[in-house]
Structure 1
Amino acid sequence: MYKLKKSTFVFSIPALLLMFFLQACGDGSTGYYQREFTPPEPYDVSQSVSDTTTADGLEIHVIEEGYGRIEVIHRDRVQVKYTGRIVEEDGSLGDVFDSSYINNQTETTTFNNLTPNPIPSGNGGQISPLVDGFRRGIIKEVSEDTTNILSGMKEGEKRVLIIPPALAYGEADENSSSSLAGRTLRFDVELVQIAE
């Protein structure tokens, strides 16, 4: 009787391991985590409370004003919710290429480098800057002659940034490594918090 119980136990271990393995694979054939962007509807720029276009073509549409007196500046770290879409040649919105809305979850993303240059990270590496149009679209910027001032985002603020290729991934040519080169980009951005 003892031998029967022991052998049943020994044979059930591989069966249990096989069940756990199959469970971990999920219903997909690859077994990899599938990441799907699930952003909300795009902000309606016709409802913006203010609009600015810089001399180099960056469009900033403030959809909802933030609160408080503190504006984002280049040395801040920010937590945002965002969605990046391609703007087609006819002005319509194309595919979502990046978003903090993934698999029906709303996550905030922290951007640690709002300067135009790479900065050191805590682990000995570097934190690359954001594309120029995105970075400039959220920070307070004053031109050298102080005639052009872009206001920085405040907590709770929502903006649409429409970024021409020169301020994004550059013009498309045979040396372009990004599929976004030569494309106008649109980012819907909500500033959740200026991190300390």
Structure 2
Amino acid sequence: MKKSLLILGLAVLVLTGACQQFKTDEGGLQYKIAKDNGQPKAQSGDLLSVEMTVTTDRDSVLSSTYKIGLPQIINIAPDTIPGLYAGDYNSMFKMLGEGDSAVFKLDLDTMAAKTMQPKPEFADKFVTFNVKVNKHFKKGELTDSALYAEVNTYFDGEIEKLKLAEESKIDNYIKKNNLEPTKTASGLQYIITEEGTGEKPAAGDTVQVNYTGTLISSGEVFDTSIKEVAEKSNIYNAMRPYEPAKFAIGVRQVIPGWDEGLLLMAKGSKAKLIVPSELGYGERGDGRGVIPPFAPLIFDVELVDVLKSKPAEQDSTAN
């Protein structure tokens, strides 16, 4: 399965590395140093803030910090920890310092033999790491609490950057796609792409909704109720049903952007909802690493059905 990550920084890194030959280190680790910034390399106890994309030799993406929009913190472990070996994941990052970038190919056969664990089934021989180091936190004489205070301050700054960039991400998306959405007082923006002929739901009604959710930052689909879309987006999960979501509207069972947007639609309508983080998953994200903090989202939704709530039965004892 193939995914294209249109990330300029990653593209530059790959092109730079392509001009070199891979070198082989202990344990079968293959590497290309795309940029050596001349700074001290990471040592045991240090931490690195990195941008990183991890792919397999089957051309599938396992993870990418570019998708989330936040760097990953790597803890350089001491060599004395059981299970570590020359040429492993920990060894890769000891080759890097602040401002460095490199491509590593981790040998899975060696990993399985050295760790006495089964070889992963998601790749044939190698997993490739494209890495760029943003910041090097040196342990030195610092206490653990002092070191992690530095990291927390740094990470708070990265999250603040996401917050400040949110409005421009939404504006750029609208401009790029030549959209003319209607904006509500809450900040929700929406476009009715197909007008339905049924009645609109009221708060408390049960609705059935087909949907596809996309991250504005990367354009990647993170969730959908439609099987074909899930398969095309490489997020298909055979353990879940693909059918319209069913829930009560206007009673906080879903994110505020859905509660507001779906109440504007008639049964049978289709719409595009542009949901700012305040009406989505807020400053914390979804907590699973799929939706980052301050992430504006796009939902293409179809209001399939509206099941009107039944009025409360009158109290038989009332006079």
- TM-score (structure 1 length as normaliser): 0.54
Do the aligned residues in 2 keep the contact of 1:159 with 1:188 (CA within 8 Å)?
yes
Q: Pick from 95, 102, 105 the counterpart of residue 220 of structure 2.
A: 95
* SS at 1:138 equivalent: helix
Deviations 1:73-131 (A, max 9, x none): 1111111211000111xxxx5211110112569943232221344xxxxxxxxxxx101
TM-fit CA distance, 1:178: 4.5
> 1:54 and 1:86 mapped to 2: Cα distance?
21
SS state of the match for residue 112, structure 1? Answer: strand
Residue 207 of structure 2: aligned partner: 78
Partner of residue 61, structure 1: 191
- 2:261 aligned with 1:177: no
Q: In structure 2, what is the equivalent of residue 135 of structure 1? A: 259
Cα contact 1:165–1:171 (8 A) shared by 2 = yes
The percentage of aligned residue pairs carrying the same residue is: 33
1:194 is aligned to 2:309: no
> Could you tell me which amino acid in structure 2 is paired with residue 109 of structure 1?
P
Distance 2:205 2:251 in 1: 13
> How many angstroms apart in 1 are the aligned matches of 2:195 and 2:298?
19
Looking at structure 1, the residues matched to 246 and 178 of structure 2 have their Cα atoms a distance apart, in angstroms, of: 28
Q: Structure 1 residue 154 and structure 2 residue 266: aligned? A: yes
Between structures 1 and 2, the one with greater helix share: 2
CA contact (8 A) 1:165 1:184 kept: yes
Contact 1:47 1:63 in 2 (8 A): no
CA separation of 1:107 and 1:155: change in aligned 2, threshold 3 A = farther
For residues 3-33 of structure 1, the C-alpha deviation after alignment (integer angstroms, 9 at most, x for no partner) is xxxxxxxxxxxxxxxxxxxxxxxxxx69xxx
- Are the counterparts in 1 of residues 210 and 245 from structure 2 also a CA contact under 8 Å? no
Question: Could you say what secondary structure the match of 1:133 adopts?
Answer: helix
Q: Equivalents in 2 of 1:135, 1:97: separation in Å? A: 20
- Is contact 1:81–1:107 with CA below 8 Å preserved after alignment? no
Alignment of 1:106-117 (within 5 A): 107-117=242-252
Rate the CA distance shift 1:116–1:77 in 2: closer, same or farther, 3 A.
closer
The DSSP-based 3-state class of the residue aligned with 1:111 is strand
Deviation at 1:46, TM superposition (A): 4.9
Structure 2 counterpart of 1:73, one-letter code:
A
Q: Does the CA-based 8 Å contact 2:225-2:245 persist in structure 1?
A: no
Work out whether residues 214 and 223 of structure 2, in 8 Å CA contact, stay in contact via their aligned partners in 1: yes
Structure 2: which 5+ residue stretches go unaligned? Answer: 1-120, 123-176, 232-240, 309-319
Relative to the length of structure 2, the TM-score reads 0.34
**1:52 and 2:176 matched:** no
What SS does the corresponding residue of 1:130 show, helix, strand or coil? coil
Q: Are the structure 2 counterparts of residues 183 and 47 from structure 1 closer, same or farther at C-alpha, using a change threshold of 3 Å?
A: closer
Instruction: List 4+ stretches of structure 1 deviating above 4 A.
Output: 45-48, 103-107
Query: Does structure 2 retain, via aligned residues, the 8 Å contact 1:67–1:156?
Result: yes
Judge conservation of contact 1:83–1:98 (CA < 8 Å) in 2.
yes
* 5+ long unaligned stretches in structure 1: 1-28, 31-44, 118-128, 140-151
Give the paired residue count: 123
Q: Supply the AA of the counterpart residue of 1:99.
A: T
